[in-house]
Chains A and B, each alone.
Chain A
Amino acid sequence: MIKEFEGRNEEEAIKNAIEFLGLTKSDIDVEIVEKEKGGFLFKGGKVKIRVHYDENDEEYNATGDPEKRIISFVSGLIDRMGLEVEVKVHGRRENRLELDLVSPDSGIIIGKQGKTLEAIQLLTNIVVGRVASDDYKVVIDSEGYKKRRERNIEQIARRVASQVRKSKGSRLLEPMNPFERRIVHTTLSSYKDIETISEGEGLYKQVRIMYRGDIDRY
């Protein structure tokens, strides 16, 4: 197989090729197709390379080792965000890979209410669909944020539940993603006098916690 790649210099072009193909430098033969020298003010150089590689290698990596490609996608992504990161495998289950992003900039990687982390996870899972089977899932956390958030949501759910129990009314929580809403629903599922429903549209819906009284619903 032959594929072309670009970069500002030869080194970057090769790096792009290796990352994209999920191969190592020794697996590929590189031929330089085009070389534009940079220099004038801000204009950078450009190098186009043609990479020759064994298709079997790619296939092996695509089906046999999606993990390597996923990790290289994630570290390539965060690297280009201008942040330092070490991508660690936190756990492996059947069809499921858990990654932990260790970084001095983990606050930025996580983002407000974990939104950046969610975005990274979403894109990664779409890219995963291209290198692994459809039911393969990647879960990405950074410095234990999701565990902390989980516990935090459980606490909020219980606190709000006891408030509506007193007021005999209902309260709407802040917008949450599906994973976070599930925590609220399951935490309060054993509270027979409390009901929880999701309201709104899109990915980030709000959970309403309602007092249902002592009515025996079953």
Chain B
Amino acid sequence: MEKDLVEYIAKSLVDDPNGVNVNMIEGEKSTILELRVSEGDIGKVIGKHGRIAKAIRTILSAAATKTGKRVVLEILD
């Protein structure tokens, strides 16, 4: 579910939706989501002073409220 969410947001923000890739590593208490985008799109998912990345993380933790599991988003370049 969280993987779909990150994919959806990232694809709406970038110029190259096909370059969006989310890898999910599921642990017992937390889930790590690794987001990769095309080289030129990195700034589009991070934003000035990390504003966009922060907004995505805020939305992710809201989505995780019901399941109670911690979700960590890592943006890889």
Contacts and interface: CB of A to CB of B under 8 A. Distances in A.
Interface in B19-77: 47, 49, 51-52, 54-56, 58-59, 62-63, 65-67
A175 B59 CA distance: 19
Contacts of A82: 1, 63, 66-67
A41 interface: no
Contacts of A83: 63
Contacts of B18: 4
A5 B34 CA distance: 21
A116 to B, nearest CB: 4
A126 B59 contact: no
Interface stretch (A107-115, A163-171, A189-197): A107-115
Interface residues of B, number: 24
- If over half of B's interface residues share one DSSP class (helix, strand or loop), that class is named, otherwise mixed; here it is helix
Given A76-B8, A80-B5, A80-B8, A119 B66 contact: no
Given A73-B12, A123-B56, A81 B62 contact: yes
A122 interface: yes
Contacts of A2: none
Contact of B59 (A20, A76, A120, A130): A120
Interface residues of A, number: 24
B52 A81 contact: no
Contacts of A202: 49
B49 A80 contact: no
Contacts of A118: 55, 58
Given A123-B9, A123-B52, A108 B62 contact: yes
Contact of A122 (B1, B5, B55, B67): B55
B59 A119 contact: yes
Contacts of B12: 73, 123, 127, 130
Interface string A65-81: 00000000100110011
A15 to B, nearest CB: 11
**Interface core residue of B4, B8, B11, B67 (most chain A CB under 10 Å):** B8
A1 interface: no
Contact of A116 (B1, B52, B58): B58
Interface in A48-92: 73, 76-77, 80-83
19 contacts: A20-B11, A20-B17, A77-B5, A77-B8, A80-B4, A81-B5, A81-B63, A108-B62, A108-B66, A119-B62, A120-B59, A122-B52, A123-B9, A123-B52, A126-B52, A127-B12, A127-B13, A130-B12, A203-B51
Interface of B: 1, 4-5, 8-9, 11-13, 17-18, 47, 49, 51-52, 54-56, 58-59, 62-63, 65-67
